[in-house]
Structure 1
Amino acid sequence: MKNPMRKNPPTTEESEAYPHSDESSDSDGVVPEHEIPAQYESSNTPQLPQGNEKNFVYPEGLREYEPIDRDEDDEMDFWSAQLLHVVQNGMVFSSKEELMLGIHSWNIKCNKEMYVVESTTKKWRARCYTTNPKCNINLRTGPPCAWYANARRKTSDSMWQLTRWVDSHNYYGTVVGNSNRCMKSKDIATRILHHIRDDIAFPVKSIQAHIKDRLGVDISYSKGWRARQDAVERIYDSWLTNFRELPTYVDALKKHNPTTVVDWLHEPKGSSDIETFKYVFWAFGPVISAFQYCMPVISVDGTFLKGSYKGKLLITVTKNANNLILRLCFAIVDEETAESWTWFFHHLWEHIARHRGKKLCVISDRHKGIINAVSNLAVWRRNAIHRFCLRHIRSNLMQKFKIKELKELCWDIGSTTQQRKYDHSVDLMKGILPEAWEYLEEIGEDRWTLVHDRNNRRWGTLTTNISESFNHALKGIRMMPIKAIIERTFDKTVEHFLMNNQVAHNCRTRLAPYRYEWYQIRYQNSRHHRLQEYSYVSGRYRVISKIQTNECGGNDYIVDY
C-alpha cells in the first residue's frame, strides 16, 4: 500500500553549517582514493629477497596494505557498545556499521576528524581528515598526519576486523568550531535510543545538549532532527515499511477484536495492483460499547502529524462517569477540509453515535470543515447540536480586538449560569467596545454561553480541553509511523479499561468516585441555603444562598425543578 502523504525531505548533512561546507554526509560518501606513488607501483617495488621472506620489511608507504599477522584461531578481541570509543588493532566488529561507529567514536574522543578513503563490501579504509584534498588549509599545520585505519570483512563469519590501526593523530590542532564531521546522525541515533524509547518526543534541543554534555561536540538542529527520526525508525521500522504492513496489521487487529471498526477511502487513481489510501478511520469495539454509558457530549479536534509524511490526525473524545477521558475514534487524513471532516463525521455516526440516539452535543472550534459537516449531514442536523469552544471564541475575539479587558469579560459571559452576572458582564463589554459584543452576538449566544444553553445540552462543558489534553498526550505518538500510531492508540485504550476496571472494583459508593465527591461538596453547601416552596405542582422554589464571611452570597434565586 502506498503512502498517501508528501514526504518532507530533510536537508543533507553537507548543507549544515561548517567552515567551507566541508562537513561529510551521513552516508560516509567516499572521496576518490589517493593515487599510489610511482615508487610503489609494481614495476618499482623492491622484490622479495629469495629465502628471506620472513625478514622482509614493507616500504613505509605500503605498510597499511601489509596483512595482519594473526591466526584465525587466536582469541578475538570484540568491540563493545558499552565502550564505544575503545578501539585497537585486531579488534572484531559484528557489522560494518559497528566498525564505523567505533572509529567515529574514537576520533570524537580525541577531538579529531577522519574521512573514508575506500568502502566496499569486503574492505574499508579511512585516513585523517587533514590528508583530504578538500581539507580547510587552516587545519594543515605541521607534518602530514600518519593516522589511518584499515579493516576487512572476515570470510568465515562475515564479521569485520581491524587489520591496520594507528592509535593516535600526529598533526597539531583540533577540530575547528567544535563541530566534528565524525559525529553522524546515525551515530547520534545510537546514543539517544534509550531516550527515544522513554519519550519519542525527546526535543531536538535536548539531543543537542545531551551530545554536547557527553562528548563536547556541537551538532546542528537539522542533524539532531535526523538523528531522532533515525532512532524512531530503528524502534518502529521505517515509514515505508509501516505503510506496506498496515493492511496486514489491520486485518489481524479486526480478527482478534471482531467489534473493532476500520474503514478506508482509497484514491481513485490507484492501480489494480496498488491501492493508495486517502483517509483511514478506526474505533475499537469496547470503546463503542462504553460510549453508551458516558455523557452525551463529544469533543472533536484535529492535529498535525510530525513524522516523515504530512497528514492530520482527527480525534473524538468524551468523558466517562468518573470524569476521565475516553478516546472514541481516530482518523488520519491528508488535510482538514470540508471533505475530510464530512467523511469523518459520517463514519462517526455510522459506527458510534447512532447507537446513542438523539440529544448528542458536539463541541469544537469554529473550523469551517466541522461546521459544514455537522450542518449538512442530515443525521447530525436532526440528532445533535453543535456548540463552540469558549476558549477558541475568546482567542478569536482577542485577535480581532486587542483590548486586554475583553478577555476576562468574554470568559465571564460564556461561563456563568446566572442571568444577573451575564447581563452585568455584557453591559461592561458594551461600555468598553460595542463592536466586540456585536461580533460575539453574531456567532449566536446559544453556541458559546451556558446561560443560553437550553436543556443543559453542554453538560457544563465549556471548552475542547479534553480533546486538546489528549492531543498533548499524543505529542509523541504523532511522530510515529502510521502502523505504530494505530498500535499505540490500541495500547492506550487497553490501559484505560484496565485502570477503570480497577477503579470500579474498588468503588464502594453508588456513584463513581469523582461524581460522588462532587455531590458531597454541593450537598454540604446546600445545607446552608434557605428554601421556600412556591409551587409543588410546577416545582418552583425560592432559594436564598448562604451569606459568606466576605459578605458575598445571600442572593435570591427562583428555581424551577
Structure 2
Amino acid sequence: MGSKIVSSVVADLLRTKPLIKPADIITDFKQNYGLDISYYNAWYGKELAKKEIHGDEALAYTQLVWYIDALLKTNLGSHGYLECDVKSSCFERIFISYHASIEGFKFCRPFLCLDGTFVKNKYKGHLLAATGKNGNQGFFPLAFAIVDSENEANWTWFLENLSEVLTDQGRNITFIFDRCKGLIEAVSNVFPESNHFFCLHHLKHNVLARYPSSMGKLYQDWIVWCFSSCAYAPTEGAFEHHVKKLKKDGGDTILEFLDTIPKENWSNVFFPGKKYGEMCSNLVECFNSWILVERELPIYQLLDRLWTKMMVKYAARRRAVEKWTTYLCPKVEKQLQKSIETGRHWDVNRSSDNLFEVQAGYSFAIDLHQHTCSCCQWQIKGFPCDHAITAILADHGDPYEYIEPYFTTDYYRSCYGIPIAPVPDIEKEAPEGLEDFRVKPPLTRKPPGRPRTKRIKSRGEEKKCYKCSRCGQGGQHNWRTCNAQI
C-alpha cells in the first residue's frame, strides 16, 4: 500500500479531522480495510492529502495581494497591510483588522490583551493578536498579524498599525500582556499614555521558576500564594501586610524579582488605570484555542478560514441577542441577581443622601455618588459589589443605573451589529498595477530533529492526571509505563 493510495483515502477524512495523527490513520486502515500500513506511508500520505486539499503552500503566498485588495473592497473601513522584502519579494508580515471588529470594539470595555502564538504550517511564523472582552464576558478579536518572529520590531509594527485602528475612538486603552521579549518597550513607545498590566498567570510561573524543586512543593505553593495575595490586595494596608509576609518567607530571591517589576504593573491597588478586574491575558489564549486547527493550514487558507469563522461568529451572536429579554447581558444579569440575594439579610444604615454603611460581618462604607465601596471591588471591577447593590436597594434606587453600559444588551447588540461581508473567490484578479507581482514564501530553515507536536510546558504548570488501566492508580503514567506490583 503506497502513500499515494493512502492520500486518496484519507483526503475526505482530513477535511473533517485536520489534526488526525498518522497513528490514527494506521488504526483506521486496520479497522476499516484490514490493511497494515507503515508509519511512513501514513505520514507521507497525510502530507500528500493536505497538499491536494489546500494546494502548494508556497503558492498560497501569491494570493495575499488579492486577499488584501478584496478585504478592503468588500469590507470598507477595514485595515489590511502586507509587507514584503523589496529585493526578493519574500513575505515578511501581514496585519488585518475587520471594519466590523473596529466598530464593534467601541462597545467593548477599553482594555486589550496582547499575546502571540505559533503558526504551524510549512513556513512557520508567529500570530500576534489583540483581543478585547464583550459585555457577556466573551473574547472579542480586534486585530491580528502574522510575522516571522516575536520580537520588538514586529510588536512595534503591529502596535503602530493597531494605533491607527484605535485613533478615531478617542479612548485611553489599557493593555494586559506577558513580559515577552520586546513587548514592554513596544507598548511604551507606541502608546506612551496608556497603562499596561503584567499577566498574573505568567508572573506566578516566573516566581515559581526562581525556587528549585528541592525546596519542596508546599514551600513553592506558599510563595506563589503570597505573591497572588499581594496582586489581588484591594487596599494599600492589605498589600503591605501580604508583601511583608512574602519578603520574610521568600528571602533574597523574591526581593530580586520584585525589584524587576514595578508594583504599578502587577498589583490591583497601585494600578493607575482601569482594567475591570482582569488579572490575566487569558482572552488571547481563548482566541488561540479557537483557531487551533487553522494554525496548521497554509497562510492563505488560514486567513480565509479565519475570515469565514469570524463572519459566522458575528451572525450567530446577532441571532442569539435577539432572544435576550434582560436589560443586561445574561451572565452579568445572573451576577446582579446573585448580589441581590447575597445582601438580602444585611443591615444598612444611612449617613447622608449618598453615604451608607452596610453591616456584612464587617462594616463597609458605600458612596453612591462617587461609585466607591471600602471593599474596593466596585472601583477595581467597574461593577457594583454586593455591598453597593444592597445600599442601592435600601435607597430605593435602580441598580441598573449604576452599571456601565458596556454590560448592557444594547451595547452587546451594537458590538456585533455590523456584519463581516463574505468574499467570493471565483475570480481572483490582482489589483491594477500589481498583476505581475508575486509574493514569495519567507526564507526559513527547518530546525534540526523531529518536529514537536506539543509545546513545552512551563514550570509549575498543572499536568493532566491519567488513570492507569493496569494498576488503577491515578498519576502521570499509563499501562505502557506502569511498573506497579499487582
Using the size of structure 2 for normalisation, the TM-score is: 0.68
Give the 3-state SS of the residue equivalent to 2:140 in structure 1. strand
Mapped to 2, the partners of 1:226 and 1:386 lie a distance apart of 46
2:293 matched to 1:480?
no
2:74 matched to 1:256?
yes
Determine the structure 2 residue equivalent to 1:375.
188
Determine the structure 2 residue equivalent to 1:556.
363
Q: Which amino acid aligns with 2:107?
A: Y
Equivalence map 1:409-448=2 (5 Å): 409-417=226-234, 422-438=239-255, 439-440=257-258, 442-448=260-266
Q: Is the 8 A contact 1:387 1:448 kept in 2?
A: yes
Long gaps (5+) in structure 1:
1-103, 105-181, 546-553
Mapped to 1, the partners of 2:174 and 2:78 lie a distance apart of 24
2:95 matched to 1:277?
no
Determine the structure 1 residue equivalent to 2:129.
315
CA pair 235-459 structure 1, distance change in 2 beyond 3 A: same
Mapped to 1, the partners of 2:234 and 2:13 lie a distance apart of 47
| Cα displacement (A) at 1:225 | 4.3
CA pair 523-344 structure 1, distance change in 2 beyond 3 A: same
Give the structure, 1 or 2, with the largest relative contact order (CA under 8 Å, sep 6 or more).
2
Q: Is the 8 A contact 1:307 1:478 kept in 2?
A: yes
Determine the structure 2 residue equivalent to 1:32.
none
Q: Pick from 348, 362, 366: which aligns with 1:531?
A: 348
Long gaps (5+) in structure 2:
213-219, 373-486
Determine the structure 2 residue equivalent to 1:463.
280
Mapped to 2, the partners of 1:437 and 1:350 lie a distance apart of 40
| Cα displacement (A) at 1:336 | 0.7
Mapped to 1, the partners of 2:363 and 2:22 lie a distance apart of 58
1:189-221 per-residue CA deviation (whole Å, 9 max, x = no partner) reads 33333332123222344334434544453533x
1:483-532 per-residue CA deviation (whole Å, 9 max, x = no partner) reads 11111111121122112111221111111222222222122223333334
Q: Which amino acid aligns with 2:232?
A: S
Using the size of structure 1 for normalisation, the TM-score is: 0.60
Determine the structure 2 residue equivalent to 1:266.
84
Q: Pick from 378, 395, 400: which aligns with 2:210?
A: 400
Determine the structure 1 residue equivalent to 2:391.
none
CA pair 557-250 structure 1, distance change in 2 beyond 3 A: same
Mapped to 2, the partners of 1:450 and 1:528 lie a distance apart of 29
2:333 matched to 1:542?
no
| Cα displacement (A) at 1:424 | 4.5
Give the 3-state SS of the residue equivalent to 1:502 in structure 2. helix
Q: Is the 8 A contact 2:6 2:45 kept in 1?
A: yes
1:419-454 per-residue CA deviation (whole Å, 9 max, x = no partner) reads 565444334323321335422354122212223233
Q: Pick from 177, 181, 198: which aligns with 1:364?
A: 177
Q: Is the 8 A contact 2:264 2:270 kept in 1?
A: yes
Which of the pair has more CA radius of gyration? 1
Give the 3-state SS of the residue equivalent to 1:307 in structure 2. coil
2:329 matched to 1:512?
yes
CA pair 408-256 structure 1, distance change in 2 beyond 3 A: same
CA pair 527-418 structure 1, distance change in 2 beyond 3 A: farther
Determine the structure 1 residue equivalent to 2:196.
386
Q: Is the 8 A contact 2:291 2:306 kept in 1?
A: no
Determine the structure 2 residue equivalent to 1:170.
none
1:349-390 per-residue CA deviation (whole Å, 9 max, x = no partner) reads 102x2233232111110013211111112xx112x2111110
Cα RMSD after superposing both structures: 2.3
Q: Which amino acid aligns with 2:153?
A: E
Q: Is the 8 A contact 1:429 1:436 kept in 2?
A: no
Q: Is the 8 A contact 1:201 1:475 kept in 2?
A: no
